[in-house]
Amino acid sequence: MKRILVIIDNLQQYEKIQSLIHRKNYTNLIFDFYHSNVPTAIWEHADFKNQNKILDVNQKTEWILENFDMVVSVHCYQFFPAKLVKGIRCINIHPGYNPVNRGWYPQVFAIIKDLQIGATIHEMDEKLDNGPIISRKFVKKFAWDTSLTLYNRVLDTEMELLEKNFDSIFNGTYSTEKPEIGGNFFSKRDFKDLLEIDMDQSDTYRNMINRIRALTHGGYKNLYFTDPDSGKKVYVNLSLIPENEKEKN
């Protein structure tokens, strides 16, 4: 019997993974789900609400090593310590195409910097979103994508890769490839530096539109400028409607 620890901070993927596990119906695998201490929508799910499912991987490294055979990270907001990734097989499901989109909010930087985007499943090492690649796939990016529409297609591709590789991942028969040298890494600080608009800055329409759509993610308040009279932040979102298509944003 294998015990699998899944640390997940994305509600959409949690429900899809649960459905996949149910379809696979492996009797020799026990999945135990936890989340980080950063509040997200998953906290309100019936499986987690009031269940004391917060897990700090740094504080609980020894407990994890003693009680589990594998760790799976799904959009987890934590950096795994070296002792953990060296002591147990840790798999990461990442919403970017490694090594092109390592780090935070890959779809945002894929739009702004005109980079390829996709999804990756990989073994974890001591660097963030790094390590031997189990499976990866590009996702097509359109001129009318916002952060949200592109992100949702990446999530679908993550699940496609997980379903395709589920058996080999959990029975340990998969093969890996080394990521190419180079690539890109984007930090949370890089993201935050994009959020405030300098209203006196000049730029091309292409760059301006790309920045606005890259930071348009449903109801999230990301991009803003400051009203000089009131001092209030004014948040900016963009609606993009391709010809002959209904509004999707």
Say whether 35 is catalytic: no
* Of 106, 8, 93, 108, residue with least CA distance to 57: 8
Distance, CA of 229 to CA of 199 (rounded, Å): 14
**Residue 145 amino acid letter:** D
Q: How many CA atoms lie within 13 A of 144 on its CB side?
A: 11
Distances in whole angstroms, Cα of residue 248 to Cα of each of 116, 130, 168: 22, 33, 36
Tokens of 75: 């959009």
Annotated catalytic residue: which of 22, 45, 75, 94?
A: 94
CA terminus-to-terminus distance, the chain: 45
Beta bridge partners of 73: 7, 92
CB 223 within 8 A of CB 105: no
Question: Do 121 and 134 touch, CB atoms closer than 8 A?
Answer: yes
| Spatial separation of the C-alpha atoms in residues 122 and 162, rounded to whole Å | 11
Which amino acids are annotated catalytic?
94
